Amino acid sequence: MRFLIWQTAYLGDVVLTTPLIRTVLRNFPGAEVTFVGRPFCVDLFRGWDEVRVIPFSKGFLESFRMVKLIRRSDVALVPHRSLRTALIVLASGVPVRIGFDRSEFPPAFNFRVPHRWEVHEIDRNLSLLEPLKVSDLVREPFLPLSREEKEKVLKRFSLKEGSYVVVSPFSNFPLKEWHLEGWKEVMKRLSGKVEVVLTGVKEDLSKVKELEGEVRFVNLVGKTTLRDLIAVIGGSRGVIASDSSPVHIANALGVPAVTVYTATSPDYGFYPLKGGFVRNPTPCSPCSPNPKRCRTGTFECLRSPDPELVLKVCEETFQI
């Protein structure tokens, strides 16, 4: 049987789709699994030979090409809820198309599963298998990472496995970023007990300047590829992050993570399965899963929670 799984959202969303892939592989021996995702998915799944990745950049003409590439599939499992995704899958003629009832075009699917915010994203994705009567579920996320690859990356950055924690304060959504003063206090206190490694992309470098000089840390912001980041997280003692992909990468590698929430909430289902989290106490929080503007104009949630609470959860989670 040939399965198509389509998730062209952000990095963290893709990582949380891996239990769906693993469950299909477990329950349908010999199945062919094709995954459609953004171009980064080629690197993300490198080494996972059971999965064929088709990169999709969401171009207009490229959408017509995708119709031809996926039409051989027997079953389409579609966590992504966009109109474009629904129309491409419908046009492909895949005979069994399973998506969420909150898709932007539900008629594209001949099986529609209720989308519920009150469960973890992994369980939401796995619910797409209900029409196929699959009950042997795999809830643990997974990313391929060999020991050789991990050791090579850690050696290049002069890191010793298990001796450091990764701090990832940044996000694609500014309203998910706890204030730098809070991160500064947490990093300062943690650096007295364990090495702190800061990660992020090049666009975050200007923010790093506010931390330099007052906090001792290894600065890897803008210096890692996706595979480097995976290896650095895989060799860490734990990850502390905003509501963002490093949390889910950590869990996919068996590493505990702590999420610090601002405008979002664990109630949306993107909390770490292994580790802990700190809710935001601001009355107006949460806004939405991916907030783009502050409804009150105060940005009050970015100044909460208290660093002491974050430190307490980190110390308990990472046993430091």
128 and 7 in one domain?
A: yes
Q: Does a structural domain hold residue 138?
A: no
C-alpha span between 307 and 320 (Å, rounded) = 16
Q: What's the number of domains the chain is made of? A: 2
113 and 181 in one domain?
A: no
119 and 55 in one domain?
A: yes
Q: From the CB of residue 35, how many other CB atoms can be counted at a distance below 10 Å?
A: 24
Please write the tens of the pLDDT for every residue from 277-286. 999 999 999 9
Please write the tens of the pLDDT for every residue from 5-46. 999 999 999 999 999 999 999 999 999 999 999 999 999 999
Among 98, 132, 166, the domain-final residue is 132
Q: Does a structural domain hold residue 107?
A: yes
246 and 128 in one domain?
A: no
DSSP 12: H
Residue 41's alpha-carbon distances to 50, 53, 57, 69, 102, in angstroms, are: 14, 7, 11, 17, 25
Among 101, 132, 163, the domain-final residue is 132
Among 108, 132, 156, the domain-final residue is 132
Please write the tens of the pLDDT for every residue from 115-174. 999 999 999 999 999 999 999 999 999 999 999 999 999 999 999 999 999 999 999 899
C-alpha span between 295 and 285 (Å, rounded) = 10
Interacting residues of 36 by C-beta distance below 8 A, sequence separation 6+ = 4, 5, 6, 7, 8, 53, 54, 56, 66, 70
Average pLDDT, the chain: 96
User: Tokens 């060799």, residue?
Assistant: 235
Query: What's the CATH number where 122 sits?
Result: 3.40.50.2000
Q: Chain centroid to CA 171: how far?
A: 11
Class of residue 226 by CB neighbours under 10 A (exposed 0-12, middle 13-18, buried 19+): middle
Q: Looking at residue 212, what is its pLDDT?
A: 86
Please write the tens of the pLDDT for every residue from 189-231. 999 899 999 999 999 999 998 888 888 999 999 999 999 999 9
Q: Domain containing 60: what range? A: 2-132
Q: What is the pTM of this model?
A: 0.96
Give strand pairing partners of 171: none
